[in-house]
Amino acid sequence: MTTPGPDALLSMYAGMVRVRTFEERVRELFAAGRIPGFLHTSVGQEAIAAGTAAALRPDDYVLSTHRGHGHLVAKGGSLRGLMAELYGKANGICHGKGGTMHIADASVGYLGANGVLASGCVVAPGIGLSIKQRRSGQVVLTFFGDGAANRGPFHEGVNMAAIWALPVVFFCENNRWASTTASALSAAGGSIAARAAGYAIPGETIDGNDVLAVHAAVSRAAERARRGDGPSLIEARTIRWVGHFEGDAQAYRSKEEVAEGRRTDPIARLGRLLEARGLLDAAGAERIRTAVAAEIDDAVTHAEASPLPDPREALTDLFAYYPWRE
Amino acid sequence: MTTPGPDALLSMYAGMVRVRTFEERVRELFAAGRIPGFLHTSVGQEAIAAGTAAALRPDDYVLSTHRGHGHLVAKGGSLRGLMAELYGKANGICHGKGGTMHIADASVGYLGANGVLASGCVVAPGIGLSIKQRRSGQVVLTFFGDGAANRGPFHEGVNMAAIWALPVVFFCENNRWASTTASALSAAGGSIAARAAGYAIPGETIDGNDVLAVHAAVSRAAERARRGDGPSLIEARTIRWVGHFEGDAQAYRSKEEVAEGRRTDPIARLGRLLEARGLLDAAGAERIRTAVAAEIDDAVTHAEASPLPDPREALTDLFAYYPWRE
Amino acid sequence: MRLDFGDALNLALREEMRRDPRVYCIGEDIVLGVPFGVTKGLSDEFGPERVLNAPISEAAIVGSALGAAMTGLVPVVDMHFADFVTCAMDEVANQIAKSRYMFGGQIDCPLVLRMPYGIGRSGGGHHSNSVEAWFLNVPGLKLCIPSTPADARGLLKTAIRDPDPVLLFEHRGLYRLGGEVPEAETLVPLGVADVKRPGRDVTVIATARMVHESLEAARRLAEEGIEVEVVDPRSLVPLDRATLAGSVRRTNHVVIAEEGPMRGSTGAWLAWVVMEDCFDDLDAPIARVAGPNIPIPFSPPLEAFATPKADDVVGAVRQVLK
Amino acid sequence: MRLDFGDALNLALREEMRRDPRVYCIGEDIVLGVPFGVTKGLSDEFGPERVLNAPISEAAIVGSALGAAMTGLVPVVDMHFADFVTCAMDEVANQIAKSRYMFGGQIDCPLVLRMPYGIGRSGGGHHSNSVEAWFLNVPGLKLCIPSTPADARGLLKTAIRDPDPVLLFEHRGLYRLGGEVPEAETLVPLGVADVKRPGRDVTVIATARMVHESLEAARRLAEEGIEVEVVDPRSLVPLDRATLAGSVRRTNHVVIAEEGPMRGSTGAWLAWVVMEDCFDDLDAPIARVAGPNIPIPFSPPLEAFATPKADDVVGAVRQVLK
Ligand SMILES: Cc1ncc(C[n+]2csc(CCOP(=O)(O)OP(=O)(O)O)c2C)c(N)n1
Ligand SMILES: Cc1ncc(C[n+]2csc(CCOP(=O)(O)OP(=O)(O)O)c2C)c(N)n1
Ligand SMILES: [Mg+2]
Ligand SMILES: [Mg+2]
């Protein structure tokens, strides 16, 4: 496993900035009524999106969640296509049919956000089967939350991937909360990673706000998967800085938790390391922020200028083949 | 926890003989075309039925499986009611509506065989909730097989029972096979009990052909549950002597496995111990067999003599209250 | 008193939990009542033992309700979104619906599944579905679908007191709809339809949100002198066939309006019921208003296309009258 | 050649697996083909990579099929018993049916779910159900329901080659039914109904086992000079409305026969379709034959009561003709 060099570190930094800026912009747009739907953003959890993407190959697959914008941004999805989709525009990557919770971008192996928790855990083994059969050497990484880990598909998917030694990485983003419900009160034993032992697969808990730890853990798991040694389970501890969804009053948690999140800001943390290594200075960081802001401005401008779909487009895309009139 | 005295030992012995004789008789009756349905018997697994029942209180609850006759016989269900149900007779315990895979006998806390694997794992926590709310000091034990352990409800039920410290005993009968599929090839890690650690609850593997080991493990788990310390997971290794269902050609396993089962016959094993302790001799064993045979003869005679239900009885028992004509 | 639909449900829960200590609520995020507020404040009054924030384990939430109901409690499950009943489909269709029957009536199963459902606010394909039609085809379940705050409160109270499993379909677009609710504890019986507006020309049989779209359509058509009778079945199982038939025999014209997709839906079943009871009373073919046969799309204009509205009811009424 | 229904399905699987290396089978106990023998011998020819004995994990079996289908394989899932689709309902209704649509057509989902279903041999409440009606109300799925060995083979082959998800409902009571199957590889297209017996007096629209009960009824009625036309839709989505309507326009009398419970069922949907297309062609109300609204009981006389038979079709035909 190669430890990331200067370029890799800088691109992970830029990747986190891109995710953060994208999500913050989306929140503003939602507040301004430009974006519809039930919106869940990943502000504070950027190290996970950037670290996993950096450890994966471009042709590897990712299955995501209801909180998936960052995963797609980091995987290299088109910001224009993504933003236009969030707006529900005709040229959105899903023609406006998916929206925030159901976006996919097959061109970068991102096979879907998902409105149903833990669904990726059972879809992933099938992608693993096809990778194995095609001998493509790819890997599939499926994200799920600490709350989703309590659903049956987690168990069935991990077990299936384990017995067939499928190239799957099960990645749990533990941000302490499932909406208003504390993970500590809903996941028996308090550790998702500890469940790996029951299937005789590797399970580790990492600091999800340390992009290097995320990169290292996913690199290990991906190499193992490519070797044909089967799946791994990674639990990354992190903190969501914002509401579960936009509009969440957050009566269930203390301000202190968010403050803790800001203290452990994954972007600032890598920034300090890059400075220490002389790879980044204030001006350089500013350049990155400016460049990213420009990309996102472009995506917003594009989305704003794009047309809404014709209502009758609702009837398209259901079947690949359906010549019948009913 | 009290170790079983002479009477308890003898009644466990008689219990195993009763289950074995009942199941063997049912197989004959099925072969003779007297009993309809998809029949799964527990020949060889009697130590589990008898050992668990002996460790539970009469008012404790049991949730069973498609292979549940023995569990009900051991829990003290009416042999007449059970046999008549297997025959599909009007006076069967379920009026002929349930049959082999869906029998219940609420009078002894047996809340159902089940045709859907692992279902009991999610029903049990609710019984645990009601026990807790009623402060009745009862326990609920739910049986499931090694194959069923791979279904999602196992995970959801164990986790829920664990976080709420519910009085549930999860009892896995590992007879090595799920129909034609080897447990070793379908349960990652090879140990169901090992999965308990992931939920921070006790999990132990026992010799399911040693009725004393079963009794001891269930007694420990039940005491823990009654203390309010929550659920336990027990995996009992055993061997099914017969086909998965009546008519199973068993092409998937060697004759040697069945021979091994007979060598480790739980009844003979306890019989030797009872003889060694001078509690049972050949004549005594014969008396037990004769008495049990008489009970079962009575149940069969009763079932044979009982009427089939009137076809229109199919319309009853659906709702407790449904005065409407539609 | 005036209450909105969500608060009327909250009142019903409070009243029934006060009346019967066996009643408890279970679901995800119900202590704070997220997202719809129906269970808000219940845990302050009744405590955490009776208002259980469950882990995200739909099969265990629903399956445990069966276990509790069989052994002396009365669970009221909040499905969060009815879309997720798919995650507990076996527990509903094979366990809850069948246990009493398969066990020859040995056990009762007094439980309620509250099913927040329906389209709106770009919820998208996983948070917008009408799934009640599936359960019509599952014998052993009773199904209610209120359209007003008074009916919501009255049906939920009846459902909680019913010894059998009842699914209550609550359209999430109605939660903030206001309406008059009796001061006195008033139960609405199952199997009794309600004529929401009398009229002599056409019978519109509508459920939940479509009752309001149909009333709007009736108001518009009244201006042209077309008198529409809007009949709300309120419960689908049992179904008040007599009231439906009575109306059809007077109007001789029928429109059936629902939100879910057209194919294999509740409306198709209701159309059959009308055919069976009133074939000779029909002066024209029945017209149906329902959603197109697509998942619910995200983008507002697409979602609007997938959402049956008053206009559609107006069009259907004109069709059956021409 | 003469083959039984199960062997015809086995042949279709062999032919398609030989033709297309992307096709694989997954399910419980399919290597030995327990309990119905449909997949027997496939692993000898195609090896364990393409005939996967899965753990008892319905959600993972069905969910993994979606993952494989999205990334280049063509899974054929054996549900073991269709009753257990409840254990993977989210994967079918929310994931498989909707992914292509929600993703704006970016992915194809070529997979088949083989659904052994139906009543018989005292299988009881958990192994006897007709569940196809649920999926009519789930846009995004194609549904087939063959009644003969030739149709079974032809429809399964077509389903495997179809780029969209197809559910194939195989009545378990038909597996050992023999019939003529073409030597040549013959596909049966979706959306094309088949007139199993021509007749001028009554159209009986029937599916799967009820096709045979209806043919038996037709033979009996022919002795009285009543000529029954038996029409088998073969696929429910897409549905060949033209053939159904064409028959009804000739006979002006309709009976619809299915095995599942009456309420909210496939037959209610088909009745609506006939009403919509042929209201003015009907000389009498449609009559329906279906199961009672109960779970399937175990005891033979009770199970028989729950099983629609030729007698019921005969009765229904007399009713529409009187
Ligand atoms: C099967 C299912 N149940 C419930 C929901 C409603 N829901 C959406 S997000 C959420 C909380 C998820 O928590 P977690 O898995 O920890 O992810 P996070 O939101 O923290 O990223 C819930 C309950 C859902 N979308 N799917
Ligand atoms: C959910 C579900 N899937 C599949 C089946 C079909 N089936 C019945 S028994 C059985 C094997 C069960 O194996 P195990 O759980 O080990 O119990 P055992 O039969 O060995 O006692 C299978 C696959 C079922 N009844 N329920
Ligand atoms: Mg979380
Ligand atoms: Mg087993």
CA of A239 to the centre of ligand 3 (A): 9
Contact of C94 with chain B, judged by CB distance below 8 Å, is answered with yes
Inter-chain touch C86–D83, beta carbons under 8 Å: no
Q: Which residues contact D172 (CB under 8 A, 6 or more apart)?
A: D36, D81, D116, D117, D118, D120
Cα distance between residue D245 and residue A136, in whole Å:
50
The protein residue with its alpha carbon nearest to ligand 2, atom 11, reads B178
Is pLDDT at B326 greater than 90 in this prediction? no
Amino acid at B120: G
- Catalytic residue check, D127: yes
Q: Is the Cα dihedral B97, B23, B106, B177 positive or negative?
A: negative
Chains that touch A (3 or more CB pairs under 8 A): B, C, D
Give the residue from B122, B119, B181 showing the smallest Cα distance to B146. B181
Inter-chain touch B101–D127, beta carbons under 8 Å: yes
Average pLDDT for C223-243: 98
Kindly indicate the confidence band of residue A143, based on its pLDDT and cuts at 50, 70 and 90: very high
Which pLDDT tens digit goes with each residue over A126-139? 999 999 999 999 99
Scan residues 72-131 of A and list those with Cβ closer than 8 Å to B. none
Beta bridge partners of A182: A177
Average pLDDT for A43-49: 98
- Looking up tokens 């401005």 gives A297
| H-run or E-run covering D4 | strand D2-4
CA of B311 to the centre of ligand 4 (A): 35
Kindly indicate the confidence band of residue A3, based on its pLDDT and cuts at 50, 70 and 90: confident
**What local confidence, expressed as pLDDT, does residue D161 receive?**
98
Is pLDDT at B1 greater than 70 in this prediction? no
Cα distance between residue D270 and residue D292, in whole Å:
18
Residues of A in contact with B152 (CB under 8 A): 151-153, 155-156
Task: Return the SS3 of A59.
Answer: coil
State percent of chain C over pLDDT 90. 100
Average pLDDT for D78-89: 98
| H-run or E-run covering D74 | strand D74-78
Comparing alpha-carbon positions, the chain A residue that sits nearest to B153 is A152
Number of CB atoms found within 10 A of residue D171's CB: 27
Cα distance between residue A302 and residue A325, in whole Å:
36
Which pLDDT tens digit goes with each residue over C96-152? 999 999 999 999 999 999 999 999 999 999 999 999 999 999 999 999 999 999 999
Kindly indicate the confidence band of residue B3, based on its pLDDT and cuts at 50, 70 and 90: confident
Residue C232 burial by Cβ neighbours in a 10 Å radius (0-12, 13-18, 19+)? buried
Is pLDDT at B256 greater than 90 in this prediction? yes
Is pLDDT at D160 greater than 70 in this prediction? yes
Average pLDDT for A161-187: 98
**What local confidence, expressed as pLDDT, does residue A1 receive?**
57
Comparing alpha-carbon positions, the chain B residue that sits nearest to D292 is B315
**What local confidence, expressed as pLDDT, does residue C281 receive?**
98
**What local confidence, expressed as pLDDT, does residue B324 receive?**
87
Average pLDDT for A25-41: 98
Q: Would the ipTM clear 0.95, i.e. be above it?
A: yes
Scan residues 250-309 of C and list those with Cβ closer than 8 Å to D. 260-261, 263-266, 268-269, 271-272, 275-276, 279-280, 285-286, 288, 292-295, 297-298
Cα R_g (chain D), whole angstroms: 19
**What local confidence, expressed as pLDDT, does residue B325 receive?**
78
Mean pLDDT for all residues in chain D:
98
Is pLDDT at D177 greater than 90 in this prediction? yes
Is pLDDT at A83 greater than 70 in this prediction? yes
Is pLDDT at B6 greater than 70 in this prediction? yes
Dig out the tokens for C241 from the structure. 């066939």
Mean pLDDT for all residues in chain B:
97
Region label for D174, one of left (φ > 0), alpha (ψ between -120 and 50) or beta (otherwise): alpha
Beta bridge partners of D114: D78, D168
Average pLDDT for D3-8: 98
Which pLDDT tens digit goes with each residue over C32-78? 999 999 999 999 999 999 999 999 999 999 999 999 999 999 999 99
Cα distance between residue A51 and residue A54, in whole Å:
5
Which pLDDT tens digit goes with each residue over C258-302? 999 999 999 999 999 999 999 999 999 999 999 999 999 999 999
Kindly indicate the confidence band of residue C186, based on its pLDDT and cuts at 50, 70 and 90: very high
Is pLDDT at A38 greater than 60 in this prediction? yes
Cα distance between residue A67 and residue A39, in whole Å:
8
Give the residue from B173, B164, B115 showing the smallest Cα distance to B142. B173
Is pLDDT at A174 greater than 90 in this prediction? yes
Inter-chain touch A37–C122, beta carbons under 8 Å: yes
Dig out the tokens for A295 from the structure. 């990309």
Average pLDDT for B153-182: 98
Region label for B109, one of left (φ > 0), alpha (ψ between -120 and 50) or beta (otherwise): left
Contact of A316 with chain C, judged by CB distance below 8 Å, is answered with no
Q: Is D84 in the pocket of ligand 2 (CB under 6 A)?
A: yes
